[in-house]
Amino acid sequence: MTKTRKATPSELSPEPVGDPFRVTAFERPSLMVPQQIEPVLSLSQDRLVLTLEEVSGAIWVLDNVDR
């Protein structure tokens, strides 16, 4: 679970303000932080944007191959 804390723009202190709150749960296992490129994190007044990549895979089982 990813958590963050609110901060006021007028403060120059790196200390967080308020209690941590949930940003996202990353409940879709197909969305991951990229491993091939450096992750990018962007922040605005009301948005937090993180570069994610969608990955998928499959496991193939071959039955009776030796017949």
pLDDT confidence bin for 2, thresholds 50/70/90: low
The residue behind tokens 């990955």 is 55
**62 pLDDT above the threshold of 70:** yes
Which of the pair, 63 or 3, is modelled with greater confidence? 63
- Both tokens of 26, joined, read 């990353």
pLDDT tens, position by position, 40-52: 788 887 888 888 8
CA distances, 35 to each of 26, 45, 61 (Å): 16, 28, 27
Extended strands (E) in the chain: 2-6, 17-24, 31-32, 41-43, 48-50, 53-54
Report the pLDDT value the prediction gives residue 7, as an integer from 0 to 100.
57
CA distances, 43 to each of 37, 40, 52 (Å): 19, 10, 15
**8 pLDDT above the threshold of 70:** no
